[in-house]
Structure 1
Amino acid sequence: MGLLVLLVVGGIIGWIASMIMRDNTGLFLNIVVGIVGAILAGFIVTPLIGGAPITSGVIGIQSIIVSLLGAIVLLAIINLVRRGSVR
């Protein structure tokens, strides 16, 4: 059940991040960016500010915002590598 929640929430977060960055990468990359961004931000940022990462199954506003920021940063890095500019 936790994996399904991570896929759904990660997909939504990746889609929102791609809308914020104005990037048209596709559904699969949106899901991957959302999940990887959520995991990285959950392990790096969440211990610094306190709270539970989205990977623990706790879906709160703090974990969603941290995951969204992680997905946006990851999408910016992907754009920088692919295109040479962040947009």
Structure 2
Amino acid sequence: MEINGVGWIAAIIIGGLAGWLAEKFMKSDMGLLMNIILGIVGAVVLNAILALFNLGFTGWFAYLVIGFIGASLLIAIFRMFRGRRA
């Protein structure tokens, strides 16, 4: 079974990397498990949104970039509702 042209294990590794990059970019401190979750969920959600506009991307690099953007957006949305920590 594959997610956007990458396997499940690769999706976890790439999602973790994308979440970690988003964490560093957004200057948040969420932890390893949350990085993986944000990276994977961010990639899946953003790919679903892009699919609505008939834009589909496959491969590990596209998954990393889309995961990074999606995770950054999720962190920003999370901050809007929760507020920023000092």
Task: With the length of structure 2 as denominator, give the TM-score of the two structures.
Answer: 0.77
In structure 2, stretches of 5+ residues that fail to align are 2-6
Residue deviations 1:45-82, cap 9 Å, x none? 255373324xxxx223x443222111100011122223
Residue deviations 1:3-22, cap 9 Å, x none? 10110000000000000000
Once residues 45 and 24 of structure 2 are traced to their aligned partners in structure 1, the CA distance between those partners, rounded to angstroms, is: 20
Once residues 29 and 63 of structure 1 are traced to their aligned partners in structure 2, the CA distance between those partners, rounded to angstroms, is: 17
**Paired residues, number:** 81
Structure 1's consecutive aligned runs of 4 or more residues displaced over 6 angstroms after TM superposition are: none
Once residues 85 and 45 of structure 2 are traced to their aligned partners in structure 1, the CA distance between those partners, rounded to angstroms, is: 20
Sort the Cα spacing of 1:31 and 1:43 in 2 relative to 1 into closer, same or farther, 3 A: same
Please say if 1:22 is aligned against 2:27.
Answer: yes
Please say if 1:37 is aligned against 2:42.
Answer: yes
Q: Which residue of 2 aligns with 1:69?
A: 69
Give the CA RMSD over aligned residues: 2.4
Task: With the length of structure 1 as denominator, give the TM-score of the two structures.
Answer: 0.76
Q: Name the structure with the higher strand share.
A: 2
What SS does structure 2 have at the residue aligned with 1:79?
helix
